[in-house]
Chain A
Amino acid sequence: MLRMQGLSKVYRTQMIETHALRGFEIHVREGEFVTVTGPSGSGKTTFLNIAGLLETFDAGEYTLDGVDVKGLSDDQRSRLRNEKLGFIFQGFNLIPDLDLFDNVDVPLRYRGFSGAERAERIKHALATVGLASRMKHYPAELSGGQQQRVAIARALAGTPRVLLADEPTGNLDSQMARSVMELLEDINANGTTIIMVTHDPELAVRAQRNVHIIDGQVSDLVRRMPSLVEPRAQEPVARPAIQ
């Protein structure tokens, strides 16, 4: 589903070069729930940004659902992001002026769905996270946990192939964090691939696999489900043209 090989990312200023990722290798299979851990500055967020097509990389290969993303234009990356990826952020990143319905509607608008299909998807996504009755509420009227659920609904509404979560429980108390984690596990159980960056070791070990990053490289694999760790037969890498 997601494969990075020999990936490098360097941030340059006039004075210094910072190697955020160096020779980074990862292969996430369809349906996996992978947690990414590592100390601050290790490259977790850079990895997630590159995985989410929000940043480009300097060297290496990155294939997302069979599409080689290297050399794609900004518009092509935006469309691929919209179709295949869902994002969950630590700060929820809901748009405060839009009610829950319209917040969940945002990625669907860019997808070009009809009004009826959008409405159906929004209702279903909000029902999935238990907030169907609060569609016309605004983010400020919700608790942090509920806001994160809305963000999850927004990420789910477009039925993405991969859900990228950047410390989704970082701003929540432990009870809410557990609740959100359970929701993510349910979503994963329904077949959605999830990659989650977290600082919380308790949450990290709940995933099928934990990838630990140090100094921009994968340093260790915590194998909780061995059957999923070893790659099966090499997946063919297609390079369909992105329209």
Chain B
Amino acid sequence: MFHYYLVLGVRNLLRNPILTTLMVLTLAVGVAASIATLTILHIMSGNPIPHKSAKLLVPLVDNGPAKSHVAGAPPDDKQTSYIDAANWRREAPVEMRTAVYDVNGAIEGLRPDLPVEQVGGLAVDSDYFAMFEVPFLHGNAWTRAEDEGKTRVIVVGRKRSEKLFGNENPVGKTIHVFGQDFRIVGVRDTWNPVPRYTRLINSSGGPLSGEDDAYIPFNTATDVELYNNASTSCQDDERQPGYAGFLKSECTWIQFWFQTSDRAGLASYLDNYASEQRRLGRLKRDAPVQLFDVMEWMRYLEVVSNDTRLSVWLAFGFLLLCLVNTTGLLLAKFSARASEVGVRRALGATQGAIFRQFLVEAGVVGLAGGIVGLALSAAALFVIGKQARSLSVVTQMDWPMLGLTFVLAIAAALIAGLLPTWRATQVTPALQLKSQ
């Protein structure tokens, strides 16, 4: 019978194209608004590495001065000092770890026809590539030995590689960047996680946009005295001059990541570490060490703003209004068919059969609303993406959102159709048959 009801539903909708168009458009606009905002929220709040996000942990140690400390207040800063990073890299009981900071410099002299260009990248440890599953087009990451040896090696991003070398494999070539000659050991394939969770506090467009041109070893970067190119916070009054002084200071500028299956063990290590540092007089504040996994870290840094959440609620409020309108239109449409209901009831249709027939018809409206709503959602996302480059990456609809569009549209239509459908089943057949 479902096929019969479906055919009847389509026929009845085609019979009154103006009313049908109104219903479908009303529903589609509401669905489009909801899906467009939900898509942005979905991408911004999605887990970029779901299978291991709980194992990737960010520590936060409060190394601020004692004078401005308020007990229980969150740390002033969200990054790590070089001292802590160096200690953790040396002794933390974890599977892998990496320090991360932004570096920026000129690339020059490769080819006479190429102008000097700025290159933005990250200084990281070799574990970075395995921890975040960075894909390689050519070559590989450098080794821990090369980390320790402060070797001048570099991994370049695919776009930068193609710009410099075309489709040629550049592994083994040397480029002059950051004022040094670096040997290329690998080319990172296209990899653009959104949000850029490995370095949310960055210099290239915030958590939602930008791409790194190159990666060099952390030790090498500090050895050639590259400063952090993103946010750096210094509350250290006793800071000594020069780069060596900067490294010995309590300035925070490094994003640190651990990978471990033993979160409790790491937390215990960090607590002991902080206690020891306090005992040594380095840490001035009696604040607990915090540990965040990937999702916790993104929430802590408020990657999804309250405005984004509010816009989703508003869009769903709008969808509710559209539903009320659709209900009204369906009521008008179904009421006009009371005589048909009377005839069908007289010919043996149960109330349940009438309910199913009209509900399927409402579902057909939802299906049409879903198709139109999908087109409108895509258009809305396109327009939103055009407003700001940083938004363009979060305005890509994926398969789950595509499916959700149809589920939402059909569910909305069924909800909108419940009252009109129930009203249709309440038709008194005898009254309708006589009044014809």
Contacts and interface: CB of A to CB of B under 8 A. Distances in A.
B410 to A, nearest CB: 24
A54 B346 contact: yes
A161 to B, nearest CB: 14
Category for how many chain A residues contact B: 20 to 34
Given A95-B340, A109-B1, A81 B433 contact: no
B436 A93 contact: yes
B345 A78 contact: yes
Given A54-B429, A93-B339, A97-B12, A154 B347 contact: yes
B430 interface: yes
Given A97-B12, A97-B15, A110-B353, A54 B430 contact: yes
Interface string A58-91: 0000000000000000110011011100010101
A52 interface: yes
A75 B347 contact: no
B240 to A, nearest CB: 89
Nearest to B340: A95
Given A93-B339, A95-B340, A109-B1, A79 B436 contact: no
Given A93-B339, A95-B340, A78 B348 contact: yes
Given A78-B350, A97-B11, A106 B344 contact: yes
B17 to A, nearest CB: 13
Interface string B334-375: 000001101111111111110000000000000000000000
A55 interface: yes
B45 to A, nearest CB: 48
Contacts of A106: 343-344, 347
Nearest to B432: A93
A179 interface: no
B434 interface: yes
16 contacts: A49-B430, A52-B346, A75-B350, A78-B345, A79-B348, A79-B350, A83-B348, A87-B433, A89-B433, A93-B433, A95-B340, A95-B343, A97-B11, A106-B343, A154-B347, A158-B348
Which 4 interchain pairs have the tightest Cβ spacing?
A82-B348, A91-B436, A107-B347, A110-B348
A111 interface: yes
A154 B434 CA distance: 18
B350 A93 contact: no
A74 B351 contact: yes
B14 to A, nearest CB: 9
A106 B15 CA distance: 19
Interface of B: 1, 4, 11-12, 15, 339-340, 342-353, 429-430, 433-434, 436
A45 interface: yes
A45 B345 contact: no
B118 to A, nearest CB: 69
Nearest to B342: A93
Contacts of A93: 339, 342-343, 346, 433, 436
A45 B353 contact: no
A52 B352 CA distance: 19
Interface of A: 45, 49, 52, 54-55, 74-75, 78-79, 81-83, 87, 89, 91, 93-95, 97, 106-107, 109-111, 154, 158, 166
B98 to A, nearest CB: 67
B435 to A, nearest CB: 9
A111 B4 CA distance: 13
Given A78-B348, A78-B353, A106-B347, 20 more contacts: A45-B430, A52-B346, A54-B345, A54-B429, A54-B430, A74-B351, A78-B350, A81-B348, A82-B348, A82-B349, A83-B348, A87-B346, A89-B436, A91-B436, A93-B342, A95-B340, A107-B348, A110-B344, A110-B347, A111-B348
A81 B433 CA distance: 15
A62 to B, nearest CB: 15
A230 B352 CA distance: 42
A26 B349 CA distance: 27
Contacts of A78: 345, 348-351, 353
Contact of A54 (B1, B15, B352, B433): B433
Nearest to A157: B347
A94 B344 CA distance: 10
A110 B345 CA distance: 10
Nearest to B1: A109
A82 B346 CA distance: 8
Contacts of B342: 93
Contacts of B436: 89, 91, 93
Contacts of B344: 106, 110
B62 to A, nearest CB: 71
B293 to A, nearest CB: 56
Contacts of B15: 97
| Residue picked from A107, A158, A166, most chain B C-beta under 10 Å | A107
Given A45-B434, A89-B436, A110 B349 contact: yes
A87 B351 CA distance: 18
Contacts of A166: 433-434
Contacts of B349: 78, 82, 110
A78 B345 CA distance: 7
Interface centre among B15, B349, B350, B352 (most CB of A within 10 A): B350
Contacts of B353: 78, 110
B351 A55 contact: no
A82 B347 contact: yes
B171 to A, nearest CB: 67
A74 B429 CA distance: 12
A89 B346 CA distance: 11
A92 to B, nearest CB: 8
Most chain A beta-carbon neighbours within 10 Å: one of B1, B346, B349, B351: B346
Q: Which of B340, B346, B347, B350 has the most CB of A within 10 A?
A: B347
Given A54-B430, A93-B339, A93-B433, A87 B347 contact: yes
A109 B349 CA distance: 9
A75 B343 contact: no
B12 A81 contact: no
A87 B436 CA distance: 14
Contacts of A110: 344, 347-350, 353
